[in-house]
Structure formats: structure tokens, C-alpha cells
Copies of this chain bind each other. A is one copy, B any other.
Amino acid sequence: MNKCLITGFSGFVARHFIEYLENSGNNCIIKGLDFHNPDFRFDHYKNVKISFEKIDLLSSDQTKYIIHEFQPNHILHLASYSSVAYSWKEPVQSFLNNTNIYLNVLEAVRKLNMGCRILSVGSSEEYGEVYAEDLPLKEYSRLNPTSPYAVARISQEFLSKVYADGYGMDIVLTRSFNHIGTGQKDIFVVSSFAKQIAEIKKSGRKKGVISTGDLQIVRDFLDVRDVVRAYYLLLTQGKKGWSYNVCSGNGHSLQEVVDELASIAGIEISTKLNPALVRPADNRIIIGSNKRICDDLGWQPDISFQQSLKDILKYWELAV
């Protein structure tokens, strides 16, 4: 990898991806794109050389111009309005800022006739309503979307396949499950719990109450550092036109997340249900199979669930 364009550069996944490149000694030139400025510094790296441009990917002309100017070998397409809740409130904006922006990127690369590889980042939400017998979810499991966001992601995935098969473009796809890690916003569940517990700890109390949604929900959590390593491998070695689950293969209930964080913090935590945090029709259990990415790329999750939670709690203890 020598020239890599990253869309959605200001998000926490891009930051970890850069860290991964830097730490693995990858001498790479990065151009980051986002429609708001990143809130982190990127001028202190030794191996990766980064520039940033503010852009709305809905502008096909701007998108094409920048891609032409930069001439990337790889595109890591992270840009997404990735909130399911937001997609219910503003389905048109959600659709435009998932599917249409991605189509603009694809079309720019096609029209410029560039041979660069694109990693299309999708979501486990594409599986939608699943049955117990389908678990763990495989890449060939049925897609049964239950939110506007999930539809937008499936549209992105089908467009990728048609561009790969029909135009011969070099695209690899992911269905990424829940990421966790430092720098993730506290609208996401693990960050939210860790932040609340860090605040209680900071106050010096030995017990406290945190606000939660439904704690019986089981999700497949993967440390963002394992996620970005998977993305690097997929960008450099994934099979063209294939979709890969990016997940741990293990399920943890949100109750387990609370208990583990409380144990690490050494304080007694009780929970209070906030009905606003309970989604109307959420899936009870989502667990993916990572067999394909493990078999094809020799990838394995490196960081344990406990280690992730330790690091996240430490991050929030410094941040609150």
C-alpha cells in the first residue's frame, strides 16, 4: 500500500487505521476526506504522510476531481451516516449519505478508469431480522433489512458486486459488526457505559447507577484495532468481489459489558433502564462467523474482550 484515500477520515476507525499503518512501519501517503474536520492531530507520524481535505461526497464533481488529483492505489471507504436511529428520523439523508456518496466514489473511479482497489465497508445490520438457526451469521446468510440504514448498506453492497462483475472493478466488501475502542463517541453503547462508570469513579464514590437500554441484547464486539488490521489485510489481500464478515465470532450481553467494566473499575454498579434507549424492534442476538476472513487471510482477533474494555475505561478516566 503506498497511496491510500480514506473517506470518513474524521471518524474513530480512520484514526486507528492510521495508527496501525504507522506502527507497522508502513510508508504510506494518505489523503483523508470528510465533511467535517478531524478532532485529532495527524502531523506527528513518522511513517505515514497525511493530508486532509474537507469535501461533501454528494458532489460528484468534487469527488472525481480529488480522486483524479490524488491517484490512490487503495480507497478505504469509511464515510457513512452509520446511525440506525438517525436513519429512522431522516431516511432520505441517511440514504444519500450512505448509498449515493458511495456510488459517487465508485463512479469517479470507473470514469477515471483507475485500477485502484476499493474496500466497501458494510454492516452486520444488513442481516436484519435473523433466526436462531442462522447464528453465527455467515456471509451467505439471508439479508433481511429492518431499517432504512440497513437498506442503504445492502444497496451499497449490491452496487459493489455489480461494479465488480459488470465493470471488472477491484472491490472488496465487508459486513462489519459492532466495533469498540478508544475514541468512539459515547452515543455507542460500550463508550456510554464506560464513560458513566469513569465519571462515578472520578467522583470517588464506591458505588453508582448508570443509565442503560435493554441489557439482555447480545452483540458481537470487536476491538477497533483488530478491525483496522482486518481492513488492511482486505485492502491488500482480500478476494475481489467477495464480502467478508469482520467480527469476533463471540457474543456478549450488554449486562456482561456492565459487569466487566464495573469489575475493572472496582466499583459497584447498578443499572437503571432508560426507555429512550430501548429500540422498538431490535434483534436479541447478533453473532457473526469470521471463518471466511480467518481462512482466506489468516486474520484472527488479537485483543480480548476484557483487554478492550480495560483500554476503553482507561481512555474515559482520562477524558471525563
- Whether A92 lies near B88 (C-beta < 8 A) is no
22 contacts between A and B (CB under 8 A): A91-B106, A91-B107, A91-B163, A92-B104, A95-B99, A95-B159, A96-B100, A99-B99, A99-B155, A145-B161, A146-B166, A147-B162, A147-B166, A148-B162, A148-B166, A150-B162, A151-B155, A151-B158, A151-B162, A154-B155, A154-B158, A166-B281
The chain A residues found within 8 Å of chain B, CB to CB, are 60, 88, 91-92, 95-96, 99-100, 103-104, 106-107, 145-148, 150-151, 154-155, 158-159, 161-163, 165-166, 281
A interface majority secondary structure: helix
Q: Which interface residue of A103, A158, A159 has the most chain B CB atoms within 10 A?
A: A158
Q: A151-B155, A154-B158, A155-B151 are in contact. Are A166 and B100 (CB under 8 A)?
A: no
Kindly state the separation between the CA atoms of A146 and B159 in the bound complex, as whole angstroms.
9
CB distance from A168 to the nearest CB of B (A): 12
Asked whether, in the complex, the Cβ of A103 is within 8 Å of the Cβ of B107, the reply is no
Nearest Cβ on chain B to A25's Cβ, whole angstroms: 39
CA of A281 to CA of B162, assembled, Å: 12
Q: A104: nearest residue on chain B (CB-CB)?
A: B92
If A145-B162, A158-B154 touch, does A95 touch B100 (CB 8 Å cutoff)?
Answer: yes
